[in-house]
Structure 1
Amino acid sequence: MHHVLRRLDLNLLPVFDAVFRHRSVRLAAAELAMSTSALSHALTRLRQFLNDPLFYRDGHRMCPSVYACELAPFVADALATLNQQLAPVQPFDPLTSHDCFRIAVTDYTAFCIFPGLMQALEHAAPNLRFELRYLPHNPALTELLAGEIDLALSFSEPDGLSDPDLVETDLFSDEFIVISHRRRTRLTLEDYLAARHLVVTPWNEKQGMLDLHLARLGLARRIALRTPSMLGAPFMVTGSDLLMAIPSFVADTFEQVVNVSRFPLPFAVPRFTVKIYSHRRSGTRKATDWLKGVISRTITGKAHYAPPSPPPPP
């Protein structure tokens, strides 16, 4: 493998690139901080190795051969890539950094976290960029382990992926409540089961979390509408007889713009904890750790915050 590279002095490639760009031994030597005789000697060695004259002298100019013209763009690209990738890692400075963070989210976690986060970063890190990727829980963690994303914002699931390289940081706990049109004044379990329901299924799943809890009780609800997006769902509820279960964090905001009433779920469902998932051996650990801290400080400033529920007694 790499049988050509093992025989080639790679220090000769910057010499070739400089001569090709400047068409001058003198200017290439000045750029590389070499004497003209040392550069000429290096060029001779490269000519012998490649078995091609590479450059012809025409007065004071070095004119490239056909082969040199074909070779030059590949050498330039390779040198530029190596120079970029092998540069020492610079200390992370949020005020000047232009880093781009790739983060796996859902409608819900993006809604909870990013309005406050972008406001917090407006002056503290004005040049940071984000790419949000909508991914289910396990695929998000798989991409995190593969290095395709920097963070995942999700909550643990019973069959969630487990790996020693995953780091979980608790953000806040939340719970489901029910929203309805304003005409409804009560919501018993019988009312809940008799009503029609709107269910948000972002990944086109057949059953939602609440359906699984109801099934354990031997119950089922009447699902009239499934939609992949949480954004328009409350507006569908306010003008119909539909019920919708929604995390209380989201309901707090929607109640300010949508004419709905809220009720507690008429059956017991444990609270859930929203978490930041990161990779233990992240190559940008200082940057990701800093961002995790900002997210945590931003979210804990919300009035609805409650610490994660303690585990049940054994």
Structure 2
Amino acid sequence: MNTSHLNFNQLDLNLLRIFEAIYQYRQLSKAADKLALTPSAVSHALRRLRTFFDDPLFTRHGRVLVPTATCESLAPDLLASISSLRNLLSGAHTFEPGQSQQSFRISMPEALENNLLPAIAEASFRSAPHIKLESVAIDRTRLADRLSNRELDLAIDVALPLSEPVCHQPIFSDSFCVLGHNLPDTLDADFYLKSRHVAVSTRAKGLVVEDIGLLKQGMQRDVRVRCQNYHSAAALAQKNHFLLTAPTRLASILEQNFDLQVRPMPVKISAIQLHLYWHQQLEKDPATCWLREIVTNLYKDALQNREIRVKNNESDYSK
């Protein structure tokens, strides 16, 4: 695409909002829902964008629209400009939770969604009953890009080596414990390491965080099954007498839903810490600030209590 021929005066700025929605959702129907337009109107707008930029911008692969190379090169600056304009105009009004029908997209580990999402939804709907929440799982290596491109409003994940323009703060820290069926009253390291285990990770390969901690101490356990979420792991632990190592707060919930007992970890492993991530473009956005406050307040007491009990024992699981 030769950008020298582009004439800004010929561009309908409303088309940029449609470009943003298509880039974010990768489907015309979802973009139309986001903008409260008909799919045919969005399709017509895409044709106008293609004519203006003299590029297809998106090519169809099955049901998904995949950005072209030109689209990918345009997107960061275009989306940043749209966000800057939105933030500028947001200074003229405040976010009203009780009236808002805004949609928020939050990324979180699938393994922890059962624990995180219901609590966030309950706290959010209490003051903003008409908003919409969408939880998604993404590749951690693309987190900064997804936040920059406005495909995400917030992300919750373990500590990651990210810097500005991605902002973050710790929201929760928790120690590990052990769950199992018909466990003895006390577990020792020998029993733990010789038992069969079920592990949880959303990654396709690589050690899970507990095994990284064990390996640092020259220890290794017998992992028989690896799955993607803790509820599946708890069901496996109950049926097959596996041990499940899980964050303590989550374990208290699993214990209520499965025939499992919770015991302290017999081996010292550093606590797991979750961070809240957002893009600098949304630092002063009223709606995003409101949602950040909801999430941070939800876990503030738990984080403070954990920091009192476990000083200097925080772990960086960014590897």
TM over 0.5: yes
Gap change, CA 1:95 and 1:219, over 3 Å in 2? same
Greater share of helix residues, 1 or 2? 2
What per-residue deviation string (whole Å, max 9, x for no partner) do you get for residues 169-194 of structure 1? 22121011111112433321111111
Contact 2:111 2:202 in 1 (8 A): no
Q: 1:115 aligns with which of 115, 118, 121?
A: 118
What amino acid sits opposite 2:161 in the alignment? L
Residue 167 of structure 1 aligns to a residue in which SS?
A: strand
Q: Who is 1:229 aligned against?
A: 229
Q: Corresponding residue for 1:65? A: none
User: Following TM superposition, by how much is the alpha carbon of 1:302 offset from its aligned partner in structure 2, in angstroms?
Assistant: 6.0
In the other structure, the counterpart of 2:277 is: 277
Q: Which has the higher mean CA deviation after the structures are superposed, 182-191 or 98-107?
A: 182-191
Counterpart residue number, 1:297: 297
C-alpha deviations, 1:121-148, integer Å up to 9, x for none? 3341111112211124443344223432
Summarize the Cα distance change of 1:299–1:7 in structure 2 as closer, same or farther, 3 Å threshold. closer
TM-score (norm 1): 0.67
1:161 paired residue number: 161
Query: What does residue 132 of structure 2 align with?
Result: 129
Aligned residues: 241
**Within 1, Cα distance between the matches of 2:271 and 2:128?**
33
CA distance in 2, matches of 1:245, 1:9: 56
* Matched AA of 2:194: A
Cα distance in 2 between the residues matched to 1:266 and 1:104: 32
Q: CA RMSD in A?
A: 3.2
Partner residue in 2 for 1:204: 204
Gaps of 5+ in 1: 11-72, 79-84
Contact 2:121 2:133 (8 Å CA) reproduced: no
| Whole-angstrom CA distance in 2 between matches of 1:108 and 1:196 | 20
Q: Deviations over 1:214-235 (max 9, x none)?
A: 2222221111111122222112
Which residue of structure 2 lines up, in the alignment, with residue 38 of structure 1? none
Distance 1:5 1:255, change over 3 A: same
1:96 aligns with 2:96: no
* Residue in 2 that maps onto 1:67: none
Q: Is the 8 A contact 2:158 2:274 kept in 1?
A: yes
Judging changes above 3 Å, is the alpha-carbon distance between structure 1 residues 303 and 164 closer, same or farther for their aligned structure 2 residues? closer
Letter of the aligned partner of 1:293 in structure 2?
E
Deviations 1:60-97 (A, max 9, x none): xxxxxxxxxxxxx669978xxxxxx7885453211111
Shift of 1:209: 1.1
My pick for the range that moved more, 290-299 or 187-196, is 290-299
Larger radius of gyration: 1
Residue of structure 1 equivalent to 2:215 = 215
Query: Residue 231 of structure 2 aligns to which amino acid in structure 1?
Result: L
Match of 1:106 in 2: 109
State the alpha-carbon separation in 1 of the partners of residues 241 and 46 from structure 2.
67
CA distance in 2, matches of 1:183, 1:4: 70
